[in-house]
Amino acid sequence: MNSIKSTIRPFTLICALVLFIVLQGLSTFGQVIGIQSARHNAKDNVERRVILDSAFLDVGNATLNTPVNNYAVSQYIASINEDLAAQEYPFRVESIQGVSSELAYPDFTLSHTLKFENAEQQITLTMQSLPMYQNLTISWWAVLASLLLAPAFALPRQRRAALSVSEELAPPPKPKLVINLRDKTLGNSVNDTVVILQNKPLCFYTALVKYCTENPSQPLPPHKDVPLELITLANKAFARLIELGHTKRKRPDFNANLDKTLSEIRASLDEVFALYSEEKERYYPPRAQGEGSRSKQHSYALTTLSVDDIEIIGN
């Protein structure tokens, strides 16, 4: 469980970081669009004011060959920059007609030059602006949203990690015998492998597993007649097949051809439990060893079978 938590926490942090980067990127994009629009309007306002004030500003006259009044222009630049600072404009006037500001603005690193004409001459205006990144901010909404949404994005991964670890820790499913009288099949409860049995071996095997769970120590030698109790159980199973509409034939003789009946049962079990050879042994009617199927030492009883090892459907 600790290994799951140690895996989940870094992944949640990664989700939070990725979400923050995405949301902050969207916020930054929106900020850039807004800053560009605001700066465009601010720049137009500064240019418009300088153009209007230039009619009353002593910037010299090229036609009359009069010089620029440096003091007056310098005082004007200082005055307009004070107003721009008070209104938190991202622009400062650097120079007008070659006359520079007395104050330096080291944070305003971008330069913009504009030339315009008044009634008398052409005037050159140079402005400085702040780099755009200084107006960008971290979106606290992006931080909050990424922290709140990260667990939701990490949850599927957490579930997969927990499921994977659970599957690793959980023991493999234990197969058990499934006798389905409705379908006349044998199965193993784990996969979809089923085998259809004929009426006689199906009924006999159904009776055999019931008999052996109730009489685990009772031998069943093949050289003797099948016990009456086992025959009765087989007849009940056959009557159930009639009720289910599987047959209308006469009840078979379960004492006859016992070797063939057991052989058909074993062949079906070989197929049903092909992937579970160890588990198959408890359901497998033992074969005779060495002395033939009619040996007095032999028994086809299922001696290790319990009720929990079997499921009978449609009984």
pLDDT tens track, the chain, 315 positions? 444 344 446 667 777 777 778 877 887 777 778 778 888 888 888 888 888 887 788 777 766 677 888 888 889 999 999 999 898 888 889 888 888 888 888 888 888 888 887 666 788 889 888 887 766 677 777 677 777 766 666 556 556 555 555 555 567 788 999 999 999 999 998 998 999 999 999 999 999 999 999 998 899 998 889 999 999 999 999 999 999 988 888 889 999 999 999 999 999 999 999 999 889 999 999 987 654 445 567 899 999 989 999 999 988
Domain-embedded: residue 161: no
- Calculate the CA 11 to chain-centre distance: 12
Count of domains in the chain? 2
Residues 277 and 201 placed together within one structural domain of the fold: yes
Please check whether residues 194 and 308 belong to one and the same domain: yes
Same domain, 123 and 196: no
Q: Is residue 210 part of a domain?
A: yes
Residue 163 lies in a domain: no
Give CA separation, 315 vs 96, 191, 193, 213, 241, in Å. Answer: 105, 22, 21, 16, 9
Residue 8: predicted pLDDT? 46
CA distances from 25 to 17, 29, 131 (A): 12, 6, 18
Token pair of 295, please? Answer: 């040996």
94 found inside a domain: yes
Structural domain boundaries enclosing 235: 177-313
Q: Do the domain assignments include residue 120? A: yes
123 and 26 share one domain: yes
The predicted structure's pLDDT at residue 284:
94
Assess whether 90 and 201 both reside in one domain: no
Question: How far is Cα of residue 303 from the mean position of the Cα atoms in its chain?
Answer: 48
Note whether 130 and 186 are same-domain residues. Answer: no
Of the three residues 135, 166, 192, the one that is the final residue of a domain is 135
Q: Are both 55 and 108 inside the same structural domain?
A: yes
| Whether residue 92 is found in the same domain as residue 186 | no
Q: Which residues contact 297 (CB under 8 A, 6 or more apart)?
A: 291
State whether 131 and 8 are in the same domain.
yes
Give the Cα separation of 68 and 60 in Å (integer): 4
170 falls within a domain: no
- Is residue 292 a part of any domain in this protein? yes
Identify whether 196 is part of a domain. Answer: yes
Quote the CA–CA distance of 80 and 236 in Å, as a whole number: 110
